DNA sequence: TTGAAAGCGCTAACAT
DNA sequence: ATGTTAGCGCTTTCAA
């Protein structure tokens, strides 16, 4: 019976017939395998062009054992952050002739029985896994069958041998806080952290503490606040500090979103940034039309993390070695909110 | 030879053997086809569970002629706008057991020969095409082979029978400008348009003009400016108006990004919004920590457009009818930047 | 209700 | 350098 859905596409055999060769020859030409006569190759290419032929992905996948597609799994896919990663990943997958499959887990983690693995060995050649998108049990299973994977912004649980690509968090934070102390002479520096599970926040906090310690400034728990859970948690934290009357020279927010929230709260309370309190962030994510003071921050190569992770996954698929941990470099962006300029 | 890449997954035959039935029976159970004995079905399900079996997508695709995946093509994938659409699309594809393939064209449109169609009949069952991602020649070709497609925020070129899902632009803009005139008594209302190719902008401009005309206000070309090309074009346009000394009560920017740029420029020039000039936008996209006046705008169901388009594509794939044009409703968000409150 | 067998479009031995 | 052939793991007739 004819395919009812749409007019059927040409197959390898159609191309072979038109070029007057065997279908295996066409396959060789298309995949650059073995030695092919120049004239034959040309005839094949002409036939391919003429028929507008595209190899059927499923058939190719079935025969070769490779489906030429990568999967990207994340908790959620609508943030700018994810968009940039996606952009980086997509640029290399497409460039290498791979398809890209996306899945958002939305927190329904693979713990329970009956979990339907949406992306895995059955439909991809390897997986790119963004922060906490998969349970460690699931990672363990996939790792046990030796399935190619790369983790983005997350280190492998239980010392599984899964590479991790992220950017330099601790050192960048260290340098940023050094700037606050060395250049501006601030000593009472508060830190607003994100969600505990986010390694980002943890490493940035380590850099912060390291800098204080280096300068002989005691680490005070009252100066470390939470900002990552509820939408307005940062505002509440800043208000708490303000009302407590505790002395603060500067606030280091673990990301720019939080920094902007802090600036917003401060300005609502009638305080000026950076004149009264300096605020710095991380990510370099604030928008062009931002009405507040230009934010001193760390420019993170978000897009590049996606691209690099995809490259490494492709290497793993091709049996090449990759480093267990890749830390992409960042750049300090000194602007106005720290008190400079 | 054994698969070197990773330990091979269980197949239908493995399940059949364990359950003591034929593989075709397992297939029937998995796809709910035909009549199956309850006991047999149960044994099969147990075996599937026990082996952690997942059907191989490529094999299934090859045999059935359907690959159970949808493609989503866009010019670029890193904007918040796209992220929300993606979120909507992904929620329905996954829910319906379909995979989702993503591709960003980055403007390299399929005009020239040698164009490699990255997503199409060879690897998907249907395509979701975001604004201008595909050339009209490409659309024409795919349409000619009857390939299932849905357009997002774009009407089909050359009256091809491809459905279009978007939201109500013209009427929403009409209502928004009516508010400016009826409630605030503004009569000298400027409009900043986006790129000409964007239908969004065009329809919003139509709503704007319709409202002026209804109120007997002449449409003045000097009050219609460009904002959509270069990054700072809006700023330049607003400055031009300011320097020309032309009288303006309010500015309707075709989207919130542009509105924020306008507010930024106005405040740089020492003007207050809305006291000196009111500004309204479209999309409801401004961030929580925005420091300017809360923007009066139109809340657009961006995510829902993705979800609705995906649902319609699935219907088309299943031979059901869908309307040629779907306009999702919006909601007026009256806030401070128009002068209210 | 179930099994046997053909075949989807391709790749990869194995021939020649 | 090129052709022949045997599957890859499923779905789907066709028989029983």
Digit-coded pLDDT (tens) for B132-155: 999 999 999 999 999 999 999 999
> With contacts defined as CB-CB under 8 Å, which chain A residues touch B102?
86, 90, 100-102
Euclidean distance between CA atoms A47 and A53, whole angstroms: 8
Q: How confident is the model at residue A286 (pLDDT cuts 50, 70, 90)?
A: confident
DSSP secondary structure letter of residue A162: -
**A58 and B59: CB-CB below 8 Å?**
yes
Torsion of CA B257, B262, B264, B266, to 10 degrees: -170
Q: Name the pLDDT band for A3 (thresholds 50, 70, 90).
A: very low
Structure tokens at B233: 């074009």
Is A121 in contact with B6 (Cβ distance < 8 A)?
yes
pLDDT for position A80: 87
Using the predicted structure, report yes or no on whether residue B225 has a pLDDT greater than 70.
yes
Cα separation, B39 vs B257, whole angstroms: 61
For B102, phi then psi, to 5°, come to -115, 140
Q: If you search the block for the tokens 């040309």, which residue do you land on? A: A42
Q: Report the sign of the C-alpha dihedral through residues A96, A97, A103, A109, in that order.
A: negative
Read off the pLDDT of residues B168-183 as tens digits, 9 standing for 90 and up.
Answer: 999 999 999 999 999 9
Q: What is the pLDDT at residue B7?
A: 58
Question: What mean pLDDT, rounded, does chain A reach?
Answer: 92
Q: Would you place residue A114 in the very low, low, confident or very high pLDDT band (cuts 50, 70, 90)?
A: low
Q: What is the mean pLDDT of residues A293-302?
A: 96
Task: Give the DSSP H/E element, type plus range, for residue B44.
Answer: helix B38-51
Across the range A44-53, mean pLDDT stands at 92
Mean pLDDT of A59-79: 94
Residue position matching structure tokens 């990207």: A72
Query: Is the distance from CB of A130 to CB of A141 less than 8 angstroms?
Result: no
Q: In chain C, which nucleotides are within 7 Å of a protein Cβ?
A: 1-5, 7-13
Residue A33 CA and nucleotide C13 C1' are separated, in Å, by 13
Mutation target for A interface from B76, B102, B259, B279: give the one with most A CBs within 10 A. Answer: B102
A51 chain-B contacts, CB cut-off 8 A: none
Over residues B186-198, the mean pLDDT reads 92
* B chain contacts of residue A57, beta-carbon cutoff 8 Å: 58, 61, 67, 122-123
Min distance A57 CA to chain B CA atoms (Å): 5
Q: Minimal Cα–Cα distance from B72 to chain A, Å?
A: 10
Given a cut of 50, whether residue A2 has pLDDT beyond it is no
In this prediction, residues B28-54 reach a mean pLDDT of 91
Q: Do residue B78 and residue A99 have CB atoms under 8 angstroms apart?
A: no
DSSP string, A234-245: HHHHHHHHHHHT
Measured CA B199 to C1' D11 distance, in angstroms? 44
Taking CA–CA distances from A75, the nearest residue in chain B reads: B87
In this complex, the residue with its CA at the shortest distance from the C1' of nucleotide D11 is: B63
Does residue B8 approach strand D to less than 7 Å at its CB?
yes
Task: Determine whether A236 is exposed, middle or buried from the number of CB atoms within 10 Å of its CB (0-12, 13-18, 19+).
Answer: middle
Between the CA of residue A332 and those of A185, A203, A280, what are the distances in Å?
A: 18, 16, 11
What's the CA gap between B136 and B298, in Å, rounded?
A: 30
Please compute the mean of the pLDDT values over residues B223-244 and round it to a whole number.
90
CA-to-CA distance for A275 and A336, rounded, in angstroms?
Answer: 10
Nearest residue, CB atoms, A54 vs list B9, B86, B122: B122
DSSP code at position A296? B
Q: Is B220 helix (H, G, I), strand (E, B) or coil?
A: coil
Q: How far is CA B23 from CA A120, B44, B49, in A?
A: 22, 10, 16
Alpha-carbon distances of A257 from A20, A235, A264, A286, B259, rounded to whole Å: 63, 12, 11, 7, 21
State phi, psi for B70 to the nearest 5 degrees: -110, 150
Closest CA to B248 of B180, B294, B295, B334: B180
- Kindly report the bases of strand D lying within 7 A of a protein C-beta atom: 1-5, 7-13
Whether A230 shows a pLDDT value over 80: the answer reads no
Confidence grade of residue A301 (pLDDT, cut at 50, 70, 90):
very high
User: Helix-strand-coil percent breakdown of chain A, rounded to 5?
Assistant: 40, 15, 45
Tell me how far apart the alpha carbons of residues A250 and A242 are, in angstroms, rounded to a whole number: 12
Name A80's Cβ contacts closer than 8 Å, sequence gap at least 6. Answer: A285, B78, B79, B80, B83
Q: What is the mean pLDDT of residues A296-317?
A: 97
What is the percentage of chain A residues whose pLDDT exceeds 90? 82
Give phi and psi for A239, each to the nearest 5.
-60, -40
Is the CB of residue B260 less than 8 Å from the CB of residue B297?
no
Helix extents (H) in B220-328? 233-244, 256-268, 302-317
> Rounded mean pLDDT of A173-199?
95
Name the pLDDT band for B303 (thresholds 50, 70, 90): very high
Rounded mean pLDDT, A21-42: 91
Q: Tell me if B299 sits within 8 A of B281, measured CB to CB.
A: no
Q: Tell me which chain B residue has its CA closest to the CA of residue A6.
A: B146
Cα dihedral B212→B213→B218→B224 (10° resolution): 50
| Residues B121, B145 contacting (CB under 8 angstroms) | yes
Q: How far apart are CA B192 and CA A138, in angstroms?
A: 51
For residue B30, say whether its CB is under 7 Å from any atom of strand D. Answer: yes
Return the nearest residue to C3, CA–C1'.
Answer: B22
Rounded, the Å distance between the CA of A118 and C1' of D8 is: 22
Distance of alpha carbon A166 from alpha carbon A276, whole angstroms:
34
B300 in Cβ contact with B330 (< 8 Å)? yes
In this structure, the strands spanning B164-167 and B149-152 are: parallel
Q: Is the pLDDT of residue A172 over 90?
A: yes
Q: Give B34 CA → D13 C1' in Å.
A: 13
Strands A331-333 and A297-299 come out as antiparallel
Identify which of B55, B80, B147 has the shortest CB distance to residue A80.
Answer: B80
B77 CB neighbours in chain A (<8 A) are 83, 86-87, 90
Q: Give the chain B residue nearest A121 (alpha carbons).
A: B9
Q: Above 60 in pLDDT, residue A28? A: yes
Instruction: Determine which of A5-9, A47-51, A128-132, A142-146 has the lowest per-residue pLDDT on average.
Output: A5-9
Nearest protein residue to the C1' atom of C9, measured from CA: A59
The answer, yes or no, to whether residue A208 has pLDDT greater than 50, is yes
Task: Report chain A residues whose CB lies below 8 A from the CB of B141.
Answer: 52
Residue B18 Cα distances to A57, A141, A145, B8, angstroms: 30, 21, 21, 17
In this structure, are strands B331-333 and B297-299 parallel, antiparallel, or unpaired? antiparallel
Q: Measured between alpha carbons, how far is B17 from B221 in angstroms, rounded to an integer?
A: 77
Opening angle at CA A147, ends A61 and B100, nearest 5: 55
Q: How far apart are CA A189 and CA A212, in angstroms?
A: 9
- Residue that is written with structure tokens 């909507």 in the block: B88
A33 touches strand C (CB under 7 A): yes
Confidence category of residue B6, pLDDT binned at 50, 70, 90: low
Q: Which residue of A has its CA nearest to B70?
A: A101
Q: Average of pLDDT values for A247-275?
A: 95
Between A35 and A7, residue with greater pLDDT: A35
Contacts of B118 in chain A (CB under 8 A): 94, 99
Q: Is the pLDDT of residue B229 over 60?
A: yes
Q: How far is CA B80 from CA A75, B106, B212, in A?
A: 16, 16, 32
Kindly tell me if the per-residue pLDDT of A204 is higher than 80: yes
Chain A interface, mutation test: which of B3, B49, B123, most A Cβ atoms within 10 Å? Answer: B123
Nearest residue in A to B58, CA atom: A58
pLDDT 10s digits, B57-79: 999 999 999 999 999 999 999 98
CB pair distance less than 8 Å for A287 and B61: no
Share of chain B above pLDDT 90, in %: 82
Dist. CA A150–CA B188, nearest whole Å? 57
Query: pLDDT grade, residue B286 (50/70/90)?
Result: confident
C-alpha closest to that of B55 among A8, A58, A130: A58
**CB atoms A54 and B101 under 8 Å:** no
The shortest C-alpha distance from B288 to chain A (Å) reads 8
């Amino acid at each position: 019976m004819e395919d009812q859905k749409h007019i059927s596409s040409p197959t390898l055999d159609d191309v072979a017939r038109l070029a007057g060769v065997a279908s295996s020859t066409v396959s060789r030409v298309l995949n650059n395998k073995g030695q092919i006569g120049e004239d034959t190759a040309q005839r094949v290419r002409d036939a391919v062009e003429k028929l507008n032929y595209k190899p059927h992905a499923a058939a190719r996948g079935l025969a070769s054992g490779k489906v030429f597609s990568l999967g990207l799994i994340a908790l959620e896919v609508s943030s700018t952050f994810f968009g940039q990663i996606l952009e980086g990943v997509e640029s290399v997958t497409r460039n290498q002739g791979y398809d890209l499959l996306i899945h958002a887990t939305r927190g329904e983690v693979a713990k329970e029985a009956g979990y339907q693995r949406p992306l895995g060995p059955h439909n991809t050649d390897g997986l790119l896994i963004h922060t906490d998108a998969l349970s460690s049990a699931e990672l363990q299973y996939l790792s046990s069958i030796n399935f190619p994977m790369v983790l983005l912004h997350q280190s492998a649980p239980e010392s599984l041998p899964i590479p991790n690509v992220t950017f330099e968090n601790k050192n960048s934070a260290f340098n940023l806080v050094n700037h606050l102390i060395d250049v501006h002479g601030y000593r009472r520096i508060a830190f607003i952290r994100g969600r505990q599970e986010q390694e980002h926040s943890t490493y940035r906090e380590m850099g912060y503490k390291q800098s204080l310690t280096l300068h002989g400034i005691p680490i005070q728990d009252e100066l470390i606040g939470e900002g990552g859970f509820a939408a307005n948690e940062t505002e509440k934290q800043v208000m708490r500090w303000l009302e407590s009357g505790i002395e603060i020279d500067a606030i280091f927010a673990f990301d720019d979103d939080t920094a902007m929230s802090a600036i917003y709260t401060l300005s609502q309370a009638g305080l000026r940034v950076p004149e009264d309190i300096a605020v710095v962030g991380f990510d370099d994510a604030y928008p062009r039309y931002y009405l507040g003071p230009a934010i001193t921050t760390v420019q993170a190569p978000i897009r590049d993390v996606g691209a690099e992770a995809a490259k490494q996954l492709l290497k793993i698929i091709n049996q090449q070695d990759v480093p267990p941990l890749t830390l992409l470099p960042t750049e300090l962006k000194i602007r106005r909110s720290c008190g400079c300029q």
